[in-house]
């Protein structure tokens, strides 16, 4: 295969990894660039949007993760790009203003550090030979050494290592080769420590991803881990990828019975993103998140509305005097609305909800929970 053919295969295979904010695997979150490669409009962890070339360096992999179509032994077309090939094609795209950044991941070629060396070599070529100063997101391969991770931090704008499951027991259902504590949690803790040391590493964004629905995990387990990832490890973003039935090994425990409806797992993924927003942007803690007795989120009602309906003692919130945190708890109010309220009330009393510019459903959601006197 020539470089373009390989890139066609490897960029398509990278679609299963969402840890660069590429949306929730609907095709309309991405578009085809020239030569058929996928380009991803992405929300960057530090805010703002960009268009990334997203690809794997290689889709060969020595591991056997049960949820992954690239695992060893599956019958797919395998190929590997050399670091120079990726750097040259990417810079060609940059010069033609087709992309503004790179998301680079890979299957495990031989061992984790051999793979990291290749991934870091691409970033080094871009930074040093091509003087590229834009966005580079590098994947940390599970089991990577501290030296290899430090190298990534010296080159990247963002790095990610997918946690995949909430806990070791769940992880063991999916992988017989990777060790959860040694290969994933250890490196994630090291990434966190590196950032706390300050300097360039402090500015490198860290993200991770859970695969949802592949290991019989509950939402409460994911939320518990998510809280630790934000509050203890201080990662910037947590992403969720709905496990797609059929991509993985049919022997994943319970696969045949657990996912009767493909929409179910996407609905779960959506609710988890809502919880992520509540914890990251709305000041909710893990104990605020309403869960059913089976440890899962309601699929019928969004978690913020559910919280409001379970806490009548908290409402009504007084628009003209309430603090930012209280206003953020009102269904229909987002951070932007709340900033607007605080700005408006500096100019005088807010007498009607309509003054906030809310319309339709959002206005209807908020009305029972606030007063304007």
Least Cβ distance, residue 63 to ligand SF4 (angstroms): 4
Q: Which stretch binds ligand SF4 (CB under 6 A): 68-76, 87-95, 187-195, 235-243?
A: 68-76
Total of chain residues touching ligand SF4, rule CB under 6 A: 8
* Residue 65 found at the interface with ligand SF4 (CB under 6 A): yes
290 close to 303: Cβ distance less than 8 angstroms:
yes
Query: Three-state DSSP class for 244?
Result: coil
Choose one: 1-9, 31-39, 40-48, 58-66; the region binding ligand SF4 (CB under 6 A): 58-66
Is residue 70 a contact residue for ligand SF4 (CB under 6 A)? yes
Beta carbon nearer to ligand SF4, 140 or 191: 140
Whichever of 10 and 126 has its CB closer to ligand SF4, that residue is 10
Binding mask 93-122 for ligand SF4 (x = CB under 6 A): --------------xx--------------
Question: To the nearest whole angstrom, how small is the minimum distance from the Cβ of residue 182 to ligand SF4?
Answer: 14
Instruction: Give whichever of 164 and 302 is closer to ligand SF4, judged by the CB atom.
Output: 164
DSSP calls for 201-233 = HHHSEEEEEEEESSS---HHHHHHHHHHHHHTS
The conformational region for residue 357 under phi > 0 = left, psi -120 to 50 = alpha, else beta, is left
Burial class (CB in 10 A: 0-12, 13-18, 19+), 158: buried
Cis bond leading into 316, ω under 30°? yes
Nearest distance, CB of residue 119 and ligand SF4, angstroms: 13
65-73, 117-125, 294-302, 346-354 -> range binding ligand SF4 (CB under 6 A)? 65-73
The residue (of 179 and 355) whose beta carbon lies closer to ligand SF4 is: 179
Nearest-approach distance from CB 17 to ligand SF4, in angstroms: 8
Which letter, b or e, does each residue of 10-45 get, where b requires 16 or more Cβ atoms within 10 Å of its Cβ? Answer: bbebbbbbbbbbbeebeeebbeebeeebbbbebebb
Per CB under 6 A, does 71 bind ligand SF4?
yes
Is the separation of the CB atoms in 353 and 370 below 8 Å? yes
Residue 63 makes contact with ligand SF4 by CB under 6 A: yes
Hey, is 249 helix, strand or coil?
Answer: coil
Report CA torsion sign: 305, 311, 314, 316. Answer: positive
68, 140, 259, 297: which one binds ligand SF4 (CB under 6 A): 68
Contact (Cβ atoms closer than 8 angstroms) between residue 233 and residue 188: yes
Does residue 190 contact residue 150 with C-beta atoms inside 8 Å?
no
Give least dist CB 62 to ligand SF4, A: 7
The Cβ of residue 360 has, within 10 Å, a number of other Cβ atoms equal to 8
Closest separation between CB of residue 177 and ligand SF4, Å?
8
Q: Binding segment for ligand SF4 among 67-75, 127-135, 225-233, 237-245 (CB under 6 A)?
A: 67-75
Name 186's Cβ contacts closer than 8 Å, sequence gap at least 6: none
Given the complex with ligand SF4, which of 238 and 358 has the nearer CB atom?
A: 238
Distance CA 35, CA 20 (A): 22
Closer to ligand SF4 at the Cβ: 38 or 67?
67
Let me know: does 66 contact 248? Beta carbons within 8 Å.
yes
Taking contact as CB under 6 A, which single stretch among the options 61-69, 237-245, 285-293, 356-364 is the one that binds ligand SF4? Answer: 61-69
**In terms of CB distance, is 161 or 278 closer to ligand SF4?**
161
Q: Is 150 helix (H, G, I), strand (E, B) or coil?
A: helix
Nearer to ligand SF4, 181 or 349 (CB): 181
Task: Single out the residue of 42, 57, 61, 226 in contact with ligand SF4 (rule: CB under 6 A).
Answer: 61
Choose the stretch contacting ligand SF4; rule: CB under 6 A; options: 64-72, 127-135, 180-188, 253-261.
Answer: 64-72
Residue with tokens 């009607």: 352
Residues near ligand SF4, by CB under 6 A: 61, 63, 65, 68, 70-71, 107-108
């Amino acid at each position: 295969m020539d470089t373009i053919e390989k890139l066609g295969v490897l960029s398509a295979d990278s679609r299963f990894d969402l840890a660069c904010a590429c949306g929730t695997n609907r095709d309309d979150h991405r578009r085809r660039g020239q030569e058929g490669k996928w380009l991803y409009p992405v929300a960057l962890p530090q805010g703002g949007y960009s268009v990334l070339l997203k690809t794997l360096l290689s889709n060969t992999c020595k591991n056997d993760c049960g949820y992954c179509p690239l695992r060893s032994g599956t019958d797919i077309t395998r190929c590997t790009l050399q670091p120079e090939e990726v750097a040259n094609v990417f810079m060609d795209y940059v010069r033609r203003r087709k992309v503004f950044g790179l998301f680079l991941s890979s299957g495990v070629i031989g061992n984790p550090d051999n793979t990291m060396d290749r991934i870091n070599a691409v970033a080094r070529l871009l930074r040093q030979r091509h003087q590229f100063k834009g966005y580079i997101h590098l994947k940390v391969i599970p089991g990577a050494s501290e030296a290899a991770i430090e190298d990534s931090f010296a080159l990247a704008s963002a790095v990610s290592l997918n946690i995949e499951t909430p806990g070791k027991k769940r992880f063991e259902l999916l992988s017989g080769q990777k060790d959860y504590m040694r290969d994933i949690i250890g490196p994630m803790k090291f990434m966190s420590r590196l950032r706390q040391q300050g300097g360039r590493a402090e500015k490198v964004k860290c993200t991770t991803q859970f695969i949802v629905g592949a290991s019989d995990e509950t939402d409460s387990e994911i939320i518990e881990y998510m809280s630790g990832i934000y509050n203890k490890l201080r990662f910037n973003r947590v992403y969720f990828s709905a496990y797609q039935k059929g991509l993985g090994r049919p022997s994943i425990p319970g696969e045949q019975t657990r996912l009767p409806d493909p929409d179910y797992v996407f609905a779960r993924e959506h609710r988890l993103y809502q919880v992520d927003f509540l914890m990251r942007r709305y000041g909710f803690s893990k104990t605020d998140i309403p869960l059913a007795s089976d440890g899962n989120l309601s699929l019928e009602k969004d978690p913020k509305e559910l919280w409001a309906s379970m806490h009548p003692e908290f409402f009504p919130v007084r628009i003209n005097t309430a603090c930012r945190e209280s206003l953020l708890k009102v269904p229909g109010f987002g951070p932007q609305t709340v900033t607007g309220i605080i700005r408006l009330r500096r100019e005088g009393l807010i007498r009607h909800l309509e003054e906030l510019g809310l319309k339709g459903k959002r206005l209807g959601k908020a009305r029972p929970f606030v007063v304007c006197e």
